[in-house]
A and B are shown apart, each in its own frame.
Chain A
Amino acid sequence: MGRISWRSVGLGLAAPVGALVFALLVCGIILSITGHPPFDVAEDMIGSLERPRTVANSLNSATTYYLSAVAVAIGFKMRLFNIGVDGQYRLAAMLAAALAGASFMESLPSVVRILMTILAAMLVGAVWSGIAGFLKITRGVSEVISTIMLNAIATALVAFLLNPDRLAVTVAGSNNIGTAPITEGGQVPGIPYSESSSDVFGLIVLAAVVGVAYWFMLNRTRFGFDLKATGQSESAAVASGVNVKKMVLASMLLSGAVAGLVGMPQLLGASHSYSLDFPAGLGFTGIAIALLGRNHPIGMAFAAFLWGALDQTSNVLDLSGVPKEIVVIMQGVIVLSVVIAYELVRRYKLRLEQRDVGRALGTTKTPEEAQA
């Protein structure tokens, strides 16, 4: 038994590690061709990680990436592809920011304010993804199509609301526009990190809680079991009494609620307002990280940190004359190769298992023998 579990762990790690090594190799070759010694580049990037600021920023990026990945992973477990995490978190962050910055919130105690903001964000995210879920179970609309469209609608809606006549305020002289800034009582204080000029997001704790809750839901609850069962075989799940429509809606709502959290660490920990420079595209990063981390709560944490560190160390490259787009190439290669590597490992594992079964049963018949 021990041998088998070691094998599964090894095989599980083979794909992401293999993909990473392959991606490093590809980037090394690209760098060499373009006349930049790859080891110097690696040294630069690793060297910049010695700066406390880079570590803190990497952790902060990883926090948002992780939340986004969990949101995507909840869908993936059900074979639902929630591409709409991006629109869900942006709309949620915008509306939550408007609520948190509203003047009537000033009088509330800090904890209540923060909780209300976070709950509002989860609610908005859930409603937005719920539209896709509702369309799927009532009209059979593919969630891939509907969530992509909802992203575009969310963009338009945010742009419409981000207007001085509605939810935004303008600051004289600034070419930016955003919601009213959240005053101190509504902010989540950061955690000072060594000499770093930027604090670690206080809401990194939230990401950890979400990770644990995700693990617990999948492995220790009936809902999680039904979720995984439906994802693996819908017909088998139906046969064992799972209401698939209910599960689709529930997982879309849950995925959206977590998506609503994606913008919270940045909003409450750093930006304090949803404005034009609020980070966009985090939902798509989440897809990559969920793929790399194999929807596993710990795997995604590693993947998120890797992504954050890659993003944050890329700044140093421009300074040493290396186009930092190499990091984007690397991330792209990682995602592509990780998908291929998982498929290869899956097939290899299947063959191994077949062989094990064959060995346990004695000899296996060839097709000719079977027909004879």
Chain B
Amino acid sequence: MLRKRGGALAAIAMAGVLALSACGGGGEDSGAGSGGDGALKIGLAYDIGGRGDQSFNDSAARGLDKAKQEFGIEATELEASQGETDAQKEDRLRQLAEGGYNPIIAVGFAYAGPLGKVAKDYPDVKFAIIDDYTPGTDDGPNIANLTFAEEQGSFLVGVAAALKSKTGNVGFVGGVNTPLIQKFQAGYEAGVKAVKPDATVQVKYLTQPPDFSGFNDPAKGETAANGMLDAGADVVYAAAGGSGSGVFRAAKDKGAMGIGVDSDQYNLPSLADVKDVIITSMVKSVDVAVYDFIKSVNDNAFKAGNKIYDLEVGGVKYATSGGKIDDIQPRLEEYKQKIISGEIKVPSTT
């Protein structure tokens, strides 16, 4: 009896294998062929979320796409998994280096340690890391660190919030409570206080690390924003990636105003139905940084070290799409010049 069942099982397994091999034979051939015509072969490693996260990673992808079109280069994009270790990140970068990819771009501070190690072993490969410059960890003759002065841009949208607010009460919704997002908060608060020293700034972070869902949870964003609006705020700054759409939804329902982040969110197709509440956005030009880096390698003009994308070089800026802040633009420009000249020092920690 037992043997008979075993036989049946074996038969099923055999059938399965046959079916599989049949499918395998029928499938089309895929795989990344190598360019081989001297053009750049770019390897890009995203942080969790990857292309399509409506935020930070997508911005890097835009820069890559632009470079791809312009220079006719080949690119392979890899993505981090939830809860992975540094060893996996290191392995990802090593595989790119072994595969002949040059330059290699790592998106996000989590790559700092792994990138530093791999770059040492591949001195001929050019590396770039976005959002991190830690001397001793990820600096070297073949590493370009592309960092941003998020606090400066956030200062200006803070000024805009204070000037536009009628209640003297504004909100800040942060995606995940990390030092990076705290930089946005610090700049924003300083900007608000610069205009209205007695204004109230309500602060709420959607999640705490290691729960990074706060960057992609519109429902949480909406709840947090609703709470702030109920408590008297009439402008809310959403430094929360994909969760921002929930913040704008709440602002629209309550006739309040919202401020976007990372890209000019007024023009994002996915936010078209709530765009009339977006008075401005703190644009962080990750796409420009990625494009510039690829261009520099393409032109043989690679420069190692920390490149700070701040207000002065247009790495961060406030968006004017929609014309909602046209009336206060002279004031904003005034503050912008003061920051560039160093007259105003924007804090980067709260």
Contact = CB atoms under 8 A, between A and B. Distances in A.
Interface of A: 7, 18, 21, 25, 28-29, 31-32, 35-40, 53-54, 57, 60-61, 90, 155-156, 158-159, 162, 170-177, 197-198, 266, 270-271, 276-282, 285, 311-312, 314-316, 318-322, 324, 328
Contact of B86 (A32, A197, A270, A315): A270
Interface string B132-173: 111101000000000100000000000000000000000000
Contacts of B20: 25, 28-29, 32, 38-39
Nearest to A28: B20
B26 A32 contact: yes
B135 A173 contact: yes
B179 A177 contact: yes
B1 to A, nearest CB: 9
10 contacts: A39-B20, A39-B21, A173-B132, A176-B109, A176-B134, A197-B94, A198-B87, A281-B82, A281-B83, A318-B79
Given A32-B26, A319-B95, A175 B132 contact: yes
Contact of A61 (B85, B117, B131): B85
B306 interface: yes
A40 B32 CA distance: 13
B27 A155 contact: no
Given A159-B209, A314-B81, A320 B23 contact: no
Interface string B11-28: 001001000110111111
A312 B131 CA distance: 26
DSSP majority for the A interface?
helix
Contacts of A57: 87-88, 91
A69 B222 CA distance: 38
A104 B14 CA distance: 63
Contacts, number: 154
B94 A320 contact: no
A46 B211 CA distance: 32
A228 B69 CA distance: 65
Given A28-B23, A175-B132, A312-B88, A320 B2 contact: no
Contacts of B109: 174-176
Interface in B195-226: 208-211
B32 A319 contact: yes
A270 B210 contact: no
A61 B87 CA distance: 9
Given A174-B132, A177-B179, A271 B86 contact: yes
Contacts of B92: 315, 318
B83 A156 contact: no
A271 B112 CA distance: 12
Contacts of A277: 86, 110, 113
Nearest to B6: A10
A278 B24 contact: no
Contacts of B84: 279, 311
A35 B178 contact: no
Interface residues of B, number: 57
A110 to B, nearest CB: 23
B180 interface: yes
B78 A276 contact: no
B16 A21 contact: yes
A315 B13 contact: no
B270 interface: no
A87 to B, nearest CB: 11
Contact of A35 (B13, B28, B82, B306): B28
Contacts of A173: 132-135, 147, 306
Contacts of A155: 208, 210-211
The 10 A-B pairs of least Cβ separation, nearest first, read A32-B23, A159-B208, A280-B210, A281-B83, A175-B109, A37-B27, A174-B134, A173-B133, A175-B180, A318-B78
A159 B208 CA distance: 6
A346 B153 CA distance: 63
B90 interface: yes
Interface in B63-121: 76-79, 81-88, 90-92, 94-96, 99, 109-110, 112-113, 117, 121
Contact of A315 (B77, B88, B211): B88
B85 A315 contact: no
Contacts of A170: 179
Contact of B134 (A171, A266, A282, A314): A171
Contact of A32 (B24, B32, B208, B209): B24
Nearest to B87: A57
B177 interface: yes
Given A28-B23, A271-B86, 16 more contacts: A28-B24, A37-B29, A38-B24, A39-B20, A171-B134, A174-B132, A174-B179, A198-B90, A270-B85, A270-B86, A270-B87, A281-B210, A311-B81, A318-B79, A320-B31, A321-B30
A278 B86 CA distance: 8
A83 B95 CA distance: 35
B44 to A, nearest CB: 11
Contacts of A321: 30-32
Nearest to A316: B95
